[in-house]
């Protein structure tokens, strides 16, 4: 989705379950408006209420998508009896298949996948792409326009997303947690922006941002902070750089760590965290 709209809206990380919400990206032109909706990946055996909520975002797309665009990595042969594939075969709207990461695979492997998926999933279009190198992605928008139903624009032409700046700030911080902290730790983390205030400093305009990092155990809190606060300092400085680029402004970022035991299974916490 980022490659198609030319903005970095959805956070990216090699760890699975990076995307936890449904994020809209709106692409408008003189004659069209396409609303992309990035979702989490489907989780087969949800262990937490949070993951059930993530799956609900996926299920929601079956209600309202005008086109399904499924992204599968080349060479990833998901079992054909997988419930999601079965469901995708039955969708009434056009199904696009995007075979991603072509930069890592040979032409032979890519061709074999095109053949395999056209036989077993029967999408109306298949796009071998490298989202990383923006290769093969330029054709997609034109084809989407051919298959999309006509209708009035839902959003103002200058609106890029349905999410707030606060939301993206929290996502950027979470993205840095995913790359800085090991193994399971990032999965127990949620970010809440508690202050977002435009101000001025000696050097000119600045945005003051405070954010709470929630985790579900005291031991994790100390890991997040690190020895002499080194880990959280590094987190703050990496996140601030990306937030400044995203907001195109200087930023002062304050991070605090809090413990909320079992938040991933707590309905009111989940609601508060925007699930």
Tokens of 148: 């999309």
The whole-angstrom separation of Cα 160 and Cα 25 is 6
Sheet of 95-100: strand order equals 68-73, 95-100, 125-128
Residue 174 CB, shortest distance to Mg ion, in Å, is 12
The whole-angstrom separation of Cα 112 and Cα 130 is 17
Q: Which of 66/103 has CB closer to ligand GTP?
A: 103
Instruction: Annotate each residue in 90-129 with x if it binds ligand GTP (CB under 6 A) or - if it does not, as one string.
Output: ----------xx-xx-------------------------
The residues with which 251 forms a beta bridge, in sequence order, are: 207
12 contacts ligand GTP (rule: CB under 6 A) = yes
17 contacts ligand GTP (rule: CB under 6 A) = yes
Q: Which of 17/33 has CB closer to ligand GTP?
A: 17
Q: Give the DSSP H/E element, type plus range, for residue 92.
A: none
Residue of 171, 116, 121, 119 whose CA lies nearest to 2: 171
174 contacts ligand GTP (rule: CB under 6 A) = no
Residue 18 CB, shortest distance to ligand GTP, in Å, is 3
The whole-angstrom separation of Cα 138 and Cα 140 is 6
Mark the segment that binds ligand GTP (CB under 6 A) among 83-91, 118-126, 130-138, 165-173: 130-138
18 contacts ligand GTP (rule: CB under 6 A) = yes
104 contacts which partner out of ligand GTP, Mg ion, none, CB within 5 to 8 A by kind?
ligand GTP
Q: Which residue has the tokens 């991933």?
A: 264
Terminal-residue alpha carbon distance, the chain:
21
Residue 101 CB, shortest distance to Mg ion, in Å, is 14
Q: Find the binding residues for ligand GTP in span 24-53 (CB under 6 A).
A: 40-41
186 contacts which partner out of ligand GTP, Mg ion, none, CB within 5 to 8 A by kind?
none
Residues that bind Mg ion (CB under 5 A): 18-19
For the chain, give percent helix, strand, coil, nearest 5. 40, 25, 35
The whole-angstrom separation of Cα 267 and Cα 172 is 24
Rg of the chain over Cα atoms, rounded to whole angstroms, equals 20
Cα angle 24, 140, 32 (rounded to 5 degrees) comes to 60
Q: Which of 2/28 has CB closer to ligand GTP?
A: 2
Residue 23 CB, shortest distance to ligand GTP, in Å, is 10
Q: Which of 176/260 has CB closer to Mg ion?
A: 176
Residues that bind ligand GTP (CB under 6 A): 12-14, 16-19, 40-41, 71, 100-101, 103-104, 130-132
């Amino acid at each position: 989705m980022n490659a198609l709209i030319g903005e970095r809206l959805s956070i990216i990380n090699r760890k699975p379950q990076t995307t936890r919400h449904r994020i809209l990206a709106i692409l408008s032109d003189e004659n069209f408006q396409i609303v992309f909706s990035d979702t989490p990946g489907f989780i087969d055996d949800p262990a937490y209420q949070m993951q059930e909520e993530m799956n609900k975002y996926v299920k929601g797309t079956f209600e309202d998508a005008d086109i399904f665009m499924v992204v599968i990595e080349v060479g990833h042969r998901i079992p054909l009896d997988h419930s999601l594939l079965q469901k995708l075969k039955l969708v009434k709207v056009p199904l696009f298949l995007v075979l991603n990461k072509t930069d890592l695979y040979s032409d032979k492997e890519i061709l074999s996948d095109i053949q395999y998926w056209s036989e077993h999933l029967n999408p109306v279009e298949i796009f071998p792409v490298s989202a990383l190198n923006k290769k093969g992605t330029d054709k997609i928008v034109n084809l989407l326009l051919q298959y999309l139903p006509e209708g009035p624009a839902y959003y103002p032409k200058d609106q890029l997303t349905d999410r707030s700046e606060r939301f993206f700030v929290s996502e950027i911080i979470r993205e840095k947690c995913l790359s800085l902290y090991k193994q399971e730790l990032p999965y127990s983390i949620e970010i809440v922006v508690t202050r977002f205030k435009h101000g001025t400093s000696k050097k000119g305009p600045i945005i003051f941002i405070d954010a709470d990092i929630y985790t579900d155990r005291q031991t994790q809190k100390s890991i997040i902070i690190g020895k002499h606060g080194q880990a959280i300092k590094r987190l703050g400085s990496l996140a601030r750089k990306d937030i400044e680029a995203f907001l195109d402004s200087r930023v002062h970022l304050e991070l605090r760590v809090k413990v909320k035991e079992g938040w991933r299974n707590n309905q009111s916490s989940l609601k508060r965290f925007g699930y």
